[in-house]
Amino acid sequence: MPFTLRGDDVCQITQPSPIPNPYWVAFSASAAELIKLETGRDGLPIEASWLEVLAGNQLDAGQTKFSDPIATVYSGHQFGVWAGQLGDGRAILLGDINGLELQLKGAGRTQYSRMGDGRAVLRSSIREFLCSEAMHALGIPTSRALAVVGSKQAVRRETMETAAVCSRIAPSFIRIGHFEHFASLQNVVRLKELADLLISEFYPECSPGKDPYLNLFKEISTRNAKLVAQWQSVGFCHGVLNSDNISALGLTIDYGPFGFLDHFEIDHICNHSDHGGRYAYQRQPQVMHWNMACLASAMLPLLELEYSSEESQALLRSALEDFSVIYAREWQQLFRRKLGLQSQQDGDVALIERLLQAMHDSQVDFTSFFRGLGDLKKDSMPTEIMQRNDFIDRPNIEKWFADYLVRLQSETISDGARKALMNQINPKYILRNHLAQDAIEKAQQDDFSEIQKLQQILSQPFDEQEDFDHYSKPPPIDMQRVSVSCSS
Ligand code: AMP
Ligand code: MG
């Protein structure tokens, strides 16, 4: 959908800055299909000039021409503190194709770059590329990644690195921060235009009723509540849940120092700059709720077009309370499915929580454990299962397994059918940090084969793929705590 708002107070026409001698680092043929970009046998665009377009070096390829690339302005709360105006400091929206927006991240400075250089490094671009595509394959709403184009242009971070441009695709990149921006300027006209744009293009169900803006808030909040439940269910930590990184469409966007849990640690912090653990794994739902409160506050003037200030606040407050209910319902459903439970019974939540506590206490690998759980037979002996896992408090986990088996026996589904269902929700393969790191280190030596391999494996995360079994394993000890720098 084209970002149709125009005007200096909304966006600036911005030409990408070229990079010298661009080359393909990664390309997603499946993302290319979304924008009907034809690819050849090598999996790359048939129209070769797409390399220059996705590098930010030219604006046309074959029949496609981007006439007015823009950078948009938004504001936001960073780590809980109002940060004022931010904006697309290094993302340039080329335009829309086939109803989707195509954005170049790292394509040079914009009006909103502040002190930044407008660039992205190869390392973080590969991570964003791999994770976007992996999340999509896991069935989690996300922006997609089309390509990473590299260059030997130097970029200064903690050390000298090289530049890359990650091209990404989404129906829209509108964020909570866009609402906050116009709200902070008390610009109700723009706020209304933004909300109307979202409703007409993405939330048409909100418009016929009496309360379009209240309904819009509820829908955005619902989508983000469900999104964060999905993150929790695969052990995904976003790392920087600032309000400017939260999508108004409930997509996972702005991949930075994210990480998938290897061993289960409920308070795991993946972002090295997050000293207080504001964005730790277990805090993600609360923090998303907090971001929805920012959205509610930003949308208040829209409700006040129809209601008194007090009524508007009461309506939004009540809608905001629904977040926790929706999140909890979604989380319970997902974890029930992870445990292979078909019915809903009292005691299920306690059973799930006891398991997670035991996994945390013993630092059990999150993904492998759930995947392995599908192998259980209803008549297995708890001790037999125990051999395979590294729980420290054995009496406790034996008791848990005994209770779990009783619970499984209360259902009629066969072991085989249950396993098949569990394997559709418990992935075997996730983008573990050490795997991404390995692909990055090879790419830094101009070997991009590992990126392709990971891309292929992670495109079918629920399949066995025996040949790649070792990619499903927890990291070796020396790679267990790969540090992920916040710089990108
Ligand atoms: P992030 O934490 O990556 O979501 O970025 C927060 C803000 O900083 C956004 O407005 C980004 O556009 C901007 N930003 C991050 N890195 C750069 C950079 N290298 N150059 C310009 N702006 C940047
Ligand atoms: Mg961002």
Query: What average pLDDT does the segment 284-306 reach?
Result: 98
Query: What average pLDDT does the segment 418-442 reach?
Result: 98
For the chain, the farthest-separated pair of C-alpha atoms sits apart, in whole angstroms, at 68
- Write the residue with the smallest CA distance to atom 13 of ligand 1: 89
**Chain segment 446-458, per-residue pLDDT in tens:** 999 999 999 999 9
Query: What average pLDDT does the segment 204-211 reach?
Result: 89
The C-alpha angle with vertex 219 and arms to 215 and 225, in degrees rounded to 5, equals 140
Instruction: Report pLDDT for 316.
Output: 98
Local confidence band at 386 (pLDDT 50, 70, 90 cut-offs): low
Looking at the predicted structure, is the pLDDT value of residue 383 above 80? no
Query: What average pLDDT does the segment 434-443 reach?
Result: 97
Q: What is the Å distance from ligand 1's center to 90 Cα?
A: 6
Query: What average pLDDT does the segment 175-187 reach?
Result: 98
- Which residue among 85, 93, 114 is best mutated to probe the pocket of ligand 1, counting the most ligand atoms within 8 A of its Cβ? 114
Local confidence band at 390 (pLDDT 50, 70, 90 cut-offs): confident
Cβ contact 69:132 at 8 Å: no
Q: What is the DSSP string of 35-65?
A: TT--B-TTSSBSSTTHHHHHHTS-SEETTEE
Task: Find the ligand nearest to 256 CA.
Answer: 1
Q: What is the Å distance from ligand 2's center to 271 Cα?
A: 14
Closest CA to 330 of 216, 421, 221: 221
Instruction: Report pLDDT for 381.
Output: 80
Task: Find the ligand nearest to 253 CA.
Answer: 2
Q: What is the Å distance from ligand 2's center to 92 Cα?
A: 13
Looking at the predicted structure, is the pLDDT value of residue 484 above 80? no
Query: What average pLDDT does the segment 51-60 reach?
Result: 98
How far apart CA 96 and CA 99 sit, in angstroms, is: 6
- Cβ-proximal residues to 398 (8 Å cutoff; 6+ apart), any chain: 382, 383, 386
Local confidence band at 382 (pLDDT 50, 70, 90 cut-offs): confident
Percent of the chain clearing pLDDT 90 (strictly above): 93
- Which residue among 79, 90, 109 is best mutated to probe the pocket of ligand 1, counting the most ligand atoms within 8 A of its Cβ? 90
The pocket around ligand 1, CB under 6 angstroms, is made up of: 86-90, 113, 116-119, 240, 245, 254, 256
Instruction: Report pLDDT for 210.
Output: 84
Instruction: Report pLDDT for 387.
Output: 66
Active site residue 446: no
Looking at the predicted structure, is the pLDDT value of residue 196 above 70? yes
Percent of the chain clearing pLDDT 70 (strictly above): 98
Instruction: Choose the catalytic residue: 88, 244, 254, 365.
Output: 244
Task: Find the ligand nearest to 121 CA.
Answer: 1
- Which residue among 109, 111, 113 is best mutated to probe the pocket of ligand 1, counting the most ligand atoms within 8 A of its Cβ? 113
How far apart CA 346 and CA 365 sit, in angstroms, is: 27
Query: What average pLDDT does the segment 182-193 reach?
Result: 98
Cβ contact 410:326 at 8 Å: no
Instruction: Report pLDDT for 1.
Output: 60
Q: Which residues surround ligand 2, an ion (CB under 5 A)?
A: 245, 254
